[in-house]
């Protein structure tokens, strides 16, 4: 009988300690940069996994976590490295472009809501040097990208990790002689989308020359110095910061798509562990 009581007491003590610890201590990777890190934390808050200080919004950091009922550990790391780090994490909050590039878009468990502040704020833009907004070839590119057919193609092609901003029926200007439009883009999804519209633009005498970049600086410096006619790789807040920091004069001419941040499984397969 004494052994039985001792066993029961040990079990009660173990359960009490588990309750005090707040859960299993799952590790969740998020982007280390301030912009995307804040988005990731807001998504975790929306799911009830943690609670942030009231009003911090998109500027949230790990220091703003005020409630952590599931005792999760937040691991901030370079956003581009999150897909490869999934085997060492329970979950990761990953940008749509990195998920698409890593071929894991179909593994997403949940994403930012399309109407969320983050999704609407971080739409990806086509940008040009100030003063070139009305170039016929630029206007043709914008009109094709924003057409109903292309916006529908974006929605159908990326399993929800890349979403269109919505169709706009814009006029394509008449271009009498063939012209080349050199556009810098990140490989996925931007260059992929541009490859899709390339033959459509050729029908209007615009030859699209797509130059792929793996960094977020050269596409803007190329537009500023004239070696590129346009770029398509960034969201508006990043462009605003770049202009302020580098004294460049680059403007957006269209917001084509947004890339909702999503939660992807690593060592743990389902958000059910959080009661979701």
Mean pLDDT, range 99-113, rounded to an integer? 90
Which range (18-27, 104-113, 241-250) has the least confidence? 18-27
Q: Can you say whether the dihedral through the CA atoms of 220, 94, 45, 20 is positive or negative?
A: negative
Percent of the chain with pLDDT over 70: 91
Listed residue (100, 122, 80, 128) closest to 193, CA to CA: 100
**56-101 tens-digit pLDDT:** 998 999 999 999 999 999 999 999 999 999 999 999 999 988 898 8
Bigger pLDDT: 45 or 158? 45
Residue 8 confidence class, pLDDT cut points 50, 70, 90 = very low
**DSSP-assigned states of every residue in 3-48:** HHHHHHHHHHHHHHHHHHHTS---EEEEESSHHHHHHHHHHHHHTT
Mean pLDDT, range 138-151, rounded to an integer? 98
Q: pLDDT at residue 10 above 50?
A: no
Residue 256 confidence class, pLDDT cut points 50, 70, 90 = very high
CA geometry: angle at 223 spanning 130 and 127, to 5°?
A: 60
List helix spans (H) across 47-132: 82-85, 96-101, 117-121
Q: pTM of the prediction?
A: 0.75
Q: What angle in degrees, to the nearest 10, is found between the helix axes of 192-202 and 136-145? A: 120
Tokens of 188: 């996925």
Domains within the chain, CATH numbers bracketed: 24-120+261-274 (3.40.190.10), 123-258 (3.10.105.10)
Q: What is the mean pLDDT of the chain?
A: 90
User: 63, exposed or middle or buried, with CB in 10 Å at 0-12, 13-18, 19+?
Assistant: exposed
Q: pLDDT at residue 12 above 60?
A: no
Tokens of 218: 């050269």
Mean pLDDT, range 164-188, rounded to an integer? 96
Strands 262-265 and 230-235: unpaired
Query: What's residue 96's pLDDT?
Result: 86
Q: pLDDT at residue 254 above 60?
A: yes
Query: What's residue 17's pLDDT?
Result: 36
Mean pLDDT, range 161-179, rounded to an integer? 94
Bigger pLDDT: 5 or 205? 205
Residue 130 confidence class, pLDDT cut points 50, 70, 90 = very high
| Strand, coil or helix: 270 | coil
Q: pLDDT at residue 14 above 90?
A: no
Query: What's residue 24's pLDDT?
Result: 63
Whether 260 contacts 112, CB under 8 Å: yes
């Amino acid at each position: 009988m004494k052994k039985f009581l001792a066993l029961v007491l040990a079990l009660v003590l173990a359960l009490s300690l588990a309750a005090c610890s707040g859960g299993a201590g799952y590790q969740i990777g998020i982007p280390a940069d301030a912009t995307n890190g804040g988005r990731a934390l807001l998504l975790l808050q929306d799911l009830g996994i943690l609670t942030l200080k009231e009003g911090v919004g998109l500027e949230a950091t790990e220091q703003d976590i005020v409630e952590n009922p599931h005792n999760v550990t937040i691991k901030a790391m370079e956003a581009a490295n999150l897909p490869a780090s999934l085997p060492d994490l329970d979950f990761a909050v990953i940008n749509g472009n990195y998920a698409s590039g890593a071929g894991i878009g179909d593994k997403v468990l949940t994403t930012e809501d399309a109407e969320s502040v983050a999704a609407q704020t971080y739409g990806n833009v086509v940008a040009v040097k100030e003063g070139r907004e009305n170039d016929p070839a630029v206007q043709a590119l914008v009109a094709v990208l924003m057409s109903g057919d292309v916006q529908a193609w974006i929605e159908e092609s990326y399993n929800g990790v890349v979403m269109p901003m919505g169709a706009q029926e814009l006029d394509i200007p008449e271009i009498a002689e063939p012209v080349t439009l050199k556009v810098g883009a990140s490989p996925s999804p931007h260059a992929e989308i541009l490859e899709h519209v390339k033959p459509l633009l050729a029908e209007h005498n615009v030859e699209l020359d797509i130059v792929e970049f793996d960094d977020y600086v050269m596409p803007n410096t190329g537009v500023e110095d004239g070696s590129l006619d346009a770029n398509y790789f960034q969201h508006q807040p990043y462009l605003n910061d770049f202009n302020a920091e580098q004294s460049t004069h680059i403007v957006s001419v269209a917001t084509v798509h947004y890339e909702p941040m999503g939660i992807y499984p690593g060592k743990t397969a389902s958000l059910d562990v959080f009661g979701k």
